[in-house]
């Protein structure tokens, strides 16, 4: 039984890694190599799939009990989180048009830095001094990686930093806004309510910012039907990232999840370099390695401070 449980957990982690890295690489392929230059519309496809598949998983398959929204105030809180979530995903997808996945992941590893900053600014929560010291290599590593990145592009860099900051802000706000016992939602139920709201935000944004995107996508599909299958598969995979993340969280400890998350970024970097063959400098790799070491130290410092 123990062996079965261990194999099940390993399978979940493998599925989490595969779906997460798969979405990242397919986003990069679609937005740069394939030439589908519509990150807002792509994000809307992701959120549409998350809406439908979340409902199927919770309402039909009963994977977790359905939690209901109890008040208008709670709905507005979820809507605010959804808006920030949209900003994070769209900015991240835009950055993939301009930056290699390896550099994108290096910047994304600075999430703990932004989380600590927002937690202090919004809740005045202070961490132990060791925790703050551990953030120095996190930021220093990205600065070094930026200086040594052959494919550095300023707009893409700004978008990626914005996506990382928005991801951290959502995490902090979620803890503040949905802190009472009556308002807490597990991640699958939160996605069930956030995703449709995200589609409502993203639809007009896509139509305004990416003119005639629907007509262009239909025209592309007539020339190459593969684009339809790419979008369907990519959108479904984006849901499985959230599903497998929830299941890994459920079947492992928070600390294990942190360690696995750090390793996942490193695996994504290696796989992306092998697939896209983007040039990588020694300075850039040293910078990214320093960031990963900083994140590991940060996790350790957080564990000791509890």
Q: How confident is the model at residue 306 (pLDDT cuts 50, 70, 90)?
A: low
pLDDT value of residue 4: 67
Contact 131, 77 (CB under 8 A): no
Euclidean distance between CA atoms 232 and 305, whole angstroms: 44
pLDDT value of residue 126: 81
pLDDT value of residue 256: 67
Euclidean distance between CA atoms 267 and 283, whole angstroms: 19
Q: How confident is the model at residue 87 (pLDDT cuts 50, 70, 90)?
A: very high
> How many CA atoms within 13 Å lie on the side-chain side of 245?
16
Crossing angle of the two packed helices 154-177 and 101-108, in degrees rounded to 10: 40
Contact 278, 151 (CB under 8 A): yes
Of residues 145, 150, 152, the one with CA closest to residue 287 = 145
Of 122-131, 150-159, 204-213, 248-257, the one with minimum mean pLDDT is 248-257
Sort 249 into a burial class: Cβ within 10 Å, 0-12 / 13-18 / 19+: middle
Return the percentage of the chain with pLDDT > 70, whole number. 95
Tell me how many degrees the CA angle 67-236-55 measures, rounded to the nearest 5.
25
Q: Where are the alpha helices (DSSP H) in 124-186?
A: 129-147, 154-177
């Amino acid at each position: 039984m123990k062996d079965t449980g261990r194999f099940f957990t390993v399978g979940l982690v493998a599925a989490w890694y595969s779906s997460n890295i798969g979405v990242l690489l397919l986003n990069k392929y679609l937005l740069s190599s394939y030439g589908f230059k519509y990150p807002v519309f792509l994000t809307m496809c992701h959120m549409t799939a998350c809406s439908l598949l979340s409902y199927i998983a919770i309402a039909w398959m009963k994977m977790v009990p359905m939690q209901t929204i109890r008040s208008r105030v709670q709905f507005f809180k979820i809507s605010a989180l959804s808006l920030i979530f949209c900003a994070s995903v769209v900015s991240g997808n835009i950055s993939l048009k301009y930056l290699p996945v390896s550099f994108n992941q290096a910047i994304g590893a600075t999430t703990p830095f932004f989380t600590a900053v927002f937690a202090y600014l919004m809740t005045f929560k202070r961490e132990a001094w060791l925790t703050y010291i551990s953030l120095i290599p996190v930021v220093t590593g990205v600065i070094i990686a930026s200086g040594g990145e052959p494919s550095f592009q300023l707009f893409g860099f700004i978008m990626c930093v914005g996506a990382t900051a928005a991801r951290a802000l959502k995490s902090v706000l979620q803890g503040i806004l949905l802190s009472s016992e009556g308002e807490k939602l597990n991640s699958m139920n939160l996605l069930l309510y956030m995703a449709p709201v995200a589609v409502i935000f993203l639809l007009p944004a896509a139509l305004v910012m990416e003119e005639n995107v629907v007509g262009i996508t239909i025209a592309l599909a007539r020339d190459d039907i593969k684009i339809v299958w790419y979008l369907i598969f990519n959108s479904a995979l984006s849901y499985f990232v959230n599903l497998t993340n929830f299941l890994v969280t459920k079947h492992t400890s928070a600390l294990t999840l942190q360690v696995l998350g750090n390793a996942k970024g490193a695996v994504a970097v290696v796989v992306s370099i092998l697939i896209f063959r983007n040039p990588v400098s020694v300075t850039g790799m040293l910078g990214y390695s320093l960031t990963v070491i900083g994140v590991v130290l940060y996790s350790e410092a957080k564990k000791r401070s509890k």
